[in-house]
Structure 1
Amino acid sequence: MNDIMNFKPQKQFLLCVDSDGCIIDGMTIKHLECFGPCLIEEWDFKEHDFEVIKYWNKINLYSMTRGINRFKGLLMALEFSIKEGYSKIDSTDIKNWIEKTKELSNNSLKLEIEATNSETLKKVLHWSENVNDRVENLPDEKKKAFLGVKDCLRVVSQYADIAVVSSANARAVEVEWSQNHLFDYVDVVMTQEFGSKADCLKIMLSKGYANNKVLMVGDAPGDIEAAKDCRVLYYPIIVDREVESWVNFKEDILDSFIHETYEKELMKECESQYIKDLMKRN
């Protein structure tokens, strides 16, 4: 892998791929066993754990906010709990930090705590660090790559540079991609420490790639929006049909991408099917 500051394109084409829920089959289990339970414990929602967990899973897994940054998702969940009368939390400090920070990460949060000494933000950090600990301690079999992904990346690497573009923290991506032996095909890794996914795409475009030769692959509506914001191509991995989505990518989409016919023939159709499938779960 190359350091992003010194990275130079080796090929004309660039494939940007999300991690959780797209390459690694760990997104659902992380929310069910790590994010949600830590939320209940940190803010003592035990009397309303069913309702809060249900809402958490909806916004993070089964709605148009699927894949939302953890801190934005947390703010939504806490505001839901206030609205429903489950708590009297003051979420002002969280909202203010999210609105002004350029990096939604634990490191940025620590700097804000040093500046403000906010007790609310201290709880947010404690929650986020507990989530990271639980995720790292999940058994390897719960963080495997989707079937066929490794071979697909191998084939793609013959035609395009490959960049990981993820809102996860760097440590999680490093561990999970190493465990699944995927880094042999990756040129660049960009995680939450580099900013939003749109920020990451803009960094890659600044390296000299043509917009119509960059393809973002992800499982969340936010991946599509980031691609649109940067005027690059996108291909959605359909929730609960991830293996099928990757087979389709390898057999049909890759060739059309390399021959620059994907945007004209298939992209809107793929997006339409993705949105239709996701909304069924709402």
Structure 2
Amino acid sequence: MTSDDYLVAFDSDGCVFDNMEFKHKACFVPSFIDFFGLQDLPLQAREIWEFVNLYSTTRGINRFRGLKLSLDLARARFAGEGVGAERTSTIPPSPDLDSWIAGARHLSNASLEEEIGRSGSEELKNVLAWSLDVNRRLLEGSPQPFPLAARAVARAREGARVRVVSQAPGNALRRDWGAHGLLDLTEGIFSQEDGTKEDHLRCLLQQTPLPGDRVLLAGDAPGDLAAATATGVLFFPVIPGAEEGSWEEFLHEGLPRFFRGAFAGGYARELHRRFEEALPATPPWEG
């Protein structure tokens, strides 16, 4: 068999690149507080955003879905903690955001701009301003790949075709992968503008028809596992907080098993079990 007989897809943020903590704590959280009226409860707002987007089963979710979940959780938390009706009422309702998320094919700035042009929604204008502010803050960072992740991409390319699948904006992905010489190892990038991870994988399978046991997705979020399961491909988890150990296992056991056809079955199930145990579904303040 040749490299054309295998495909390895890599998620980017928090998986290949060590930037999830920076981008959420230094970029998303301050904008979330500033644009959605949470200045007098910054610690609670930070904990909510970080739980939804970093430390739970929704880690890695699309930014707009993450915003909706965070606003919903903030309303429920503040009401439950007796903050008071006068306080919870200042958290903006989000019917236009909810409706757009429910009906949009792609959740991206471009799609949001189209909806604003159609509806003129002031609520969605604020959401777009928030998203653009996040992108501005992200430009201030210079993310680095996990050292073993960069080696893993190069090793995968020796025996397989390589693609990037991510919910980050495409321009940021091209910048980050290009800055570290990794973009040339890939055959292209699927980004936020191209739909969900499941959309990405289905498109890849149409472009490169291969059996599911010859396609491997490496990711750090439960949504990545769900996308792999839905499309019938294999999944290797990069466990949050244990990234270097995960990449070491990928290099020395996961990838070799993939190439010799011994990944599916018991090994895959054990990986999934360890991954699912690493991220909780219930917020700590509800425990």
Q: Which TM-score tier does this pair reach, normalised by the shorter chain?
A: over 0.9
**Aligned position for 2:57:** 64
**CA–CA separation in structure 1 for the residues paired with 2:196 and 2:125:** 23
Asked if residue 43 in structure 1 is aligned to residue 43 in structure 2, the reply is: no
Residue 279 of structure 1 aligns to a residue whose secondary structure is coil
**Aligned position for 1:3:** none
**CA–CA separation in structure 2 for the residues paired with 1:148 and 1:198:** 26
**Aligned position for 1:108:** 111
Q: Which runs of 5+ in 2 are unaligned?
A: 79-86
**CA–CA separation in structure 1 for the residues paired with 2:270 and 2:252:** 16
Asked if residue 136 in structure 1 is aligned to residue 148 in structure 2, the reply is: no
Q: Is the 8 A contact 1:194 1:200 kept in 2?
A: yes
After TM superposition, the score normalised by the length of structure 2 is: 0.91
CA deviations on 1:104-159 (whole Å, 9 max, x unpaired) are 00000000000000000000000000000100112x2xx10001222221111111
CA deviations on 1:83-107 (whole Å, 9 max, x unpaired) are 3253241210000000100110000
Q: Is the 8 A contact 2:71 2:91 kept in 1?
A: no
Report matched runs for 1:234-253 at 5 Å.
Answer: 234-253=235-254
Residue 73 of structure 1 aligns to a residue whose secondary structure is helix
- The offset of 1:178, in angstroms, is 1.4
Aligned pair partner of 2:127 in 124, 127, 131: 124
**CA–CA separation in structure 1 for the residues paired with 2:213 and 2:178:** 30
Name the Cα RMSD after superposition.
1.6
Residue 57 of structure 2 aligns to a residue whose secondary structure is coil
Q: Is the 8 A contact 2:13 2:20 kept in 1?
A: yes
**CA–CA separation in structure 1 for the residues paired with 2:262 and 2:91:** 54
Q: Is the 8 A contact 2:3 2:158 kept in 1?
A: no
Q: Is the 8 A contact 1:15 1:160 kept in 2?
A: yes
**Aligned position for 1:174:** 174
**CA–CA separation in structure 1 for the residues paired with 2:216 and 2:37:** 42
Q: Which runs of 5+ in 1 are unaligned?
A: 1-8
Give the partner amino acid of 1:78.
L
After TM superposition, the score normalised by the length of structure 1 is: 0.93
User: How much identity, in percent, do the aligned residues show?
Assistant: 33
Q: Is the 8 A contact 1:14 1:214 kept in 2?
A: yes
Q: Is the 8 A contact 1:82 1:89 kept in 2?
A: no
Q: Is the 8 A contact 2:38 2:91 kept in 1?
A: no
**CA–CA separation in structure 2 for the residues paired with 1:40 and 1:196:** 26
**CA–CA separation in structure 1 for the residues paired with 2:272 and 2:103:** 31
Residue 16 of structure 2 aligns to a residue whose secondary structure is coil
**CA–CA separation in structure 2 for the residues paired with 1:194 and 1:277:** 29
Q: Number of matched residues? A: 271
**CA–CA separation in structure 2 for the residues paired with 1:269 and 1:62:** 21
**Aligned position for 1:31:** 24
Which segment is superposed worse, 34-43 or 9-18?
A: 9-18
Residue 215 of structure 1 aligns to a residue whose secondary structure is strand
Asked if residue 158 in structure 1 is aligned to residue 158 in structure 2, the reply is: yes
CA deviations on 1:235-258 (whole Å, 9 max, x unpaired) are 100111111111100100111101
Q: Is the 8 A contact 2:48 2:74 kept in 1?
A: no
**Aligned position for 1:19:** 12
Runs of 4 or more, structure 1, over 4 Å off, are none
